[in-house]
Structure 1
Amino acid sequence: MAIELNMMILGHVIQMKAESAPDKKCLIFERGEKPDVHLTYADLWKNTNKVAALLQEHGLKKGDKFAVMMRNHPEFLYAMTAGTLTGAISVPIDPRTKGEKLKYYLNNSEAKLVLITADLVENLKQILPDVPSVKAVYVNYMPWEKLPADSPYPILNQVMDGPEKMVGNHIEDPMHPMEIIYTSGTTGDPKGVVCANNRIAQYALMAQMVWKYQEDDVLYTGLSLTHGNAQAVTLMPGLVLERLVVLSERFTKSRLWDICRKFGCTTFSLLGGMATAIYSEPAKPNDADNPVKVVISAGTPRAIWEAFEKRFNVQILEWYAAVEGGFAYKPVGEGPVGSFGKPVPGLLEMKIVDENDNECPPNVIGELVSRPASGEPAHVEYYKNPEASKKKVRGGWLRSGDMAHTDENGYFFFDYRKGGGIRHNGDFVHPDYVEKVIAEHPDVTEVAVYGVPSAGGAPGELDVVAAIVPVDRAKLNLGSIYAKCRKELETNFVPSYLQVLEEIPKTISEKPQERFLIDLFEKRKEDVYTEERAKRG
């Protein structure tokens, strides 16, 4: 017996769109010099059912988990949607994950099946003997890759090229879990956030109320689909509201504007470190000649905000959220630069509290907490971790772990992650100001600022480190970078060290990973330069 379709469940949405607008193009997976992939709703529905049938053939039932480990490819979306047909729960995994962390994700989620691209198989093979829950692995190859004749694992391409299957929708409850998204684990083991199907309706509502997508908008992202941002801002709203979505395999700062010009993209989503990386690119005469109207940003550094808007002829809509919850935004042209705005009236209550849960007055830094405006307690479910779930919503408030403040008009500003922040010689250093100055140097293509324990041993004090990726290491002039900092920064903001790297390690959300930077700082002293060493050459 057919079930009543519901716009709060992804599989239902795709079936409805495939029936009402089968030939409408909904997705473009752009692949640079390789052939792009264009998909209609009919394509998406047909291929989703093939993967759903595969899950059933391997005995995955409602509530069983399967992992998807790949970059932004069509098969990722087929798999995620297939789970919402059968009730199996997808576990998206950052494609850069390997070793103990990958083993942890698979064991903690109890994944029974893994869908993975060929370029990542070696990372999986190394830990698979220690993951007893995984009973099957399917490998996907790119169209330009030759399929092996003797693959040790079944090949997903052969499933996708095989006969059509029709599984259809079998889940009726929008609160049934759609996926488990793992946090980055900056303060311990990663925690799996259980995300219900009904989130897609929330994402579509945000797109109408907050992002204000118009009928002719073309949405773009290079953020990984394993991250909540790409799903919430771009993919899900596009599919529900029938806005064309363009996806890159990964974030590219060098090709970003050319991609937007090619496909007529009118908006894209950024996370903090990405804005600085884009701004660090050498200026071009046509920077402002692009179709983008609004950049939806979570963390544009205030130091480059206005310069970014002017250089690229765009407007920034700033917002704040986390996969666990909490939401605020600053509409284009409203409020002070640097603020992420205010919560949506009537939907969410948000405040800043001190260590005793007293609300902080304006301009005093404390932890950002939130709960529904109705006064109901906040709710978070970490998979198999009730203690962490309870701690996260202590007292009915969602504890963000983000340190922030408000101004006299109630606008919120992010300051640093709890337990983070750079205090140097008594001053709190704002990394974005340092990053702006260094990013504008012609020898630098990327920069990330962080802190290491003070060489002087002062408790709570940190020395400032600027990790940089040079345009050409052979021509890098570190002395001129220090000179620029001395000229344009307060004394305590000038880096104690410049760390020269081939690339900056980042999370899937493009945030620099400080623990890896610190590890490199300790192990590779030859790449670390004080101002005195830079002068010596």
Structure 2
Amino acid sequence: MTTAKAPGIFSFEMDAKAEDTPDLEILTFENGNFPDETITYGEIVSKGRKLAKQLQDMGFVQGDVLALIMRNHPEFVYALYATTAIGAVLLPIDPRNKGNRLQYVLKDSKTKGVIFSSEFTENASRALAGLPDIQVAGVVRKEGMPEIVKSQWTDLSAILEGPEAGEPENRCTDPNAIMEIIYTSGTTGDPKGVVLKHARIAPYSMLAQLVFQYKPDDKLYTGLSLTHGNAQAVTLIPALYLGIPAVISCKFTKSRIWDICRKHGCTTFSLLGGMMMGIYSEPVKENDADNPVRLVLSAGTPHAIWESFENRFGVLIHEWYGAVEGGFAHKPPGVGPIGSFGKPLEGMMEMLIVREDDSECEPGEVGEIVARTPGQKTEVNYLGKKDASEKKTRGGWLRSGDMGHKDENGWLFFDYRKGGGLRRSGDFIQPGFVEAALALHPDVDDVCVYGIPAASGAPGESDLVAAVVASDGGAIDPAGLFKHCRENLEGNAVPSYLQVVDEIPKTASEKNLDRLLRDDFSADAANVFALTN
């Protein structure tokens, strides 16, 4: 087995894999109604070097930022090879970003060049119109996508299918150099760019082997965007570094996920809590448990559906907790209480629940989840935001911004995002339980429950809003849905309002963007229905 010349550096790791098994079909990109694309290690290196030459010809040098605006396609992997080879920095952007938000990320990151898929031409063009110094390094066009509209834009396929390119000169070998910038979801405001070093990704394969216990005969699957740390850490990097084939959908699909796993023989996949609720809300089918999946890696499984999900689909859930900034805990299947996200890795991570004054909470007491790695300085680098970086690691602890508690045996539980707890008539309401009840209604395809200031004016109190999407383009019967809620929820958990929408806006991690729903909410709107006694 060939050893990478610069272990851990993505491009060198791919060089070593391509030398040993150039024709191994390692990644399959599943494209919905259009043909799948399967790529080998040899193609990753060959096409990655062609793109690296293209970037160098454009003047890219170490530290320059290349932005990607597209769904999951092979070009993402080629771009990752190219940037890590020449020392440039990859900036994967959730393609759902548009307008001022997209322009903000491009400007904040000091992007030098951008690659986008032609389906997002309008979004990219509007953002680039105000940023004339950013070069278009190429446009990705797939079957079913619009034509490339400007003749001066390079069709990236012309580069990737063109003449071979040699090994780039002046390759990056420094594990502490910047490899990637991943922006936070921005669920409460402008997103922040988390700066990641090359050394960050090498442990992903060890985590996959020792904690998630991937096996050589596994086949991985994800529908999460590769712009999100989860898809990279749990699926992409372990697959490529360990030689375990993976299937990656161009975008998440809750209705076809089991069919995809059956078709490709996928044995494990990664989910986030919002995705799990969406899958669970699909109509029950007789063959739900007839699938090859043995293990679901989940971050944020709703307690209300945990056991039902396992039983219905015949899978085991390995729960875990972490963020792109750091911190990690997990709960293997069958260990610990349902609802817990586990415990930190002994000797490798410390995690506490603390009060505002940093004193440790008692079991059952809710406080902020903080973490640190023993013997290491706790660091977070938010691009260009020194004060925010220092605030995030105040006192040597990573401040998660998540509120949780532990039980008498040290098992950790997530309760709500700091500042986002919902209290109603003195009771704390868990939106996940309300969403679970609504998801079971046959007329509901997707749901997001959030709070607005209580009409009573009581400080800290919320009225509940349930934003719902009708199944199969049908209609929502508000009276019937309120009746369903009364029959399945405690009184204080019954929503005050139903907000009927065409879709629930999501982040790259498939989290509900409730702030956008909140911005659009009006009690007098035609799509909003109030609870009546």
TM-score (norm 1): 0.96
Once the two structures are TM-superposed, the CA of residue 378 in structure 1 deviates from its matched residue by: 0.9
Residue of structure 1 in register with 2:45 after alignment: 45
CA displacement, residues 20-78 of structure 1 (integer Å, 9 cap, x when unaligned) = 11111110011122111111111111111111111101111011111011100011111
Structure 1 residue matching 2:343: 3-state secondary structure: coil
Structure 2 residue matching 1:151: 3-state secondary structure: coil
Aligned-residue RMSD, C-alpha: 1.6
CA displacement, residues 250-281 of structure 1 (integer Å, 9 cap, x when unaligned) = 00000000000000000000011111100000
Structure 1 residue matching 2:47: 3-state secondary structure: helix
Taking the aligned partners of 2:433 and 2:147, their CA distance within structure 1 comes to 49
Taking the aligned partners of 2:453 and 2:150, their CA distance within structure 1 comes to 52
Runs of 5+ consecutive residues of structure 2 not aligned to the other structure = none
Taking the aligned partners of 2:368 and 2:432, their CA distance within structure 1 comes to 20
Q: Is the 8 A contact 1:506 1:512 kept in 2?
A: yes
Residue of structure 2 in register with 1:204 after alignment: 205
Once the two structures are TM-superposed, the CA of residue 438 in structure 1 deviates from its matched residue by: 0.9
Tell me which moved more, 205-214 or 516-525: 516-525
Taking the aligned partners of 1:426 and 1:172, their CA distance within structure 2 comes to 57
1:125 aligns with 2:125: yes
Residue of structure 2 in register with 1:69 after alignment: 69
Structure 1 residue matching 2:35: 3-state secondary structure: coil
Q: Is the 8 A contact 1:107 1:133 kept in 2?
A: no
Residue of structure 2 in register with 1:135 after alignment: 135
CA displacement, residues 90-123 of structure 1 (integer Å, 9 cap, x when unaligned) = 1111101111111111111111110000111111
Taking the aligned partners of 1:420 and 1:181, their CA distance within structure 2 comes to 23
Q: Is the 8 A contact 1:288 1:313 kept in 2?
A: yes
Amino acid at match of 1:522: S
Q: How does 1:51-450 map to 2 (within 5 A)?
A: 51-143=51-143, 145=145, 148=148, 151-168=151-168, 170-374=171-375, 376-450=376-450
1:59 and 1:403, CA in 2 relative to 1: closer, same or farther beyond 3 A?
A: same
Structure 1 residue matching 2:446: 3-state secondary structure: strand
Structure 2 residue matching 1:482: 3-state secondary structure: helix
Residue of structure 2 in register with 1:32 after alignment: 32
Q: Is the 8 A contact 1:110 1:133 kept in 2?
A: no
Tell me which moved more, 365-374 or 256-265: 365-374
Taking the aligned partners of 1:341 and 1:527, their CA distance within structure 2 comes to 40
Once the two structures are TM-superposed, the CA of residue 212 in structure 1 deviates from its matched residue by: 0.3
Q: Is the 8 A contact 1:4 1:172 kept in 2?
A: no
Taking the aligned partners of 2:473 and 2:40, their CA distance within structure 1 comes to 45
Q: Is the 8 A contact 1:298 1:318 kept in 2?
A: yes
Tell me which moved more, 228-237 or 145-154: 145-154
Q: Is the 8 A contact 2:53 2:168 kept in 1?
A: no
Amino acid at match of 2:369: L
Once the two structures are TM-superposed, the CA of residue 447 in structure 1 deviates from its matched residue by: 1.0
Runs of 4+ in 1 over 3 A off after TM superposition: 143-150, 472-475
Runs of 5+ consecutive residues of structure 1 not aligned to the other structure = none
Structure 2 residue matching 1:55: 3-state secondary structure: helix
Once the two structures are TM-superposed, the CA of residue 139 in structure 1 deviates from its matched residue by: 1.1
Amino acid at match of 2:100: E
Paired-residue identity, %: 53
Q: Is the 8 A contact 1:200 1:237 kept in 2?
A: no
Tell me which moved more, 218-227 or 143-152: 143-152
Amino acid at match of 1:223: L
Q: Is the 8 A contact 2:445 2:471 kept in 1?
A: yes
Taking the aligned partners of 2:433 and 2:387, their CA distance within structure 1 comes to 39
Taking the aligned partners of 1:432 and 1:4, their CA distance within structure 2 comes to 45
Taking the aligned partners of 1:524 and 1:79, their CA distance within structure 2 comes to 48
Taking the aligned partners of 2:123 and 2:427, their CA distance within structure 1 comes to 43
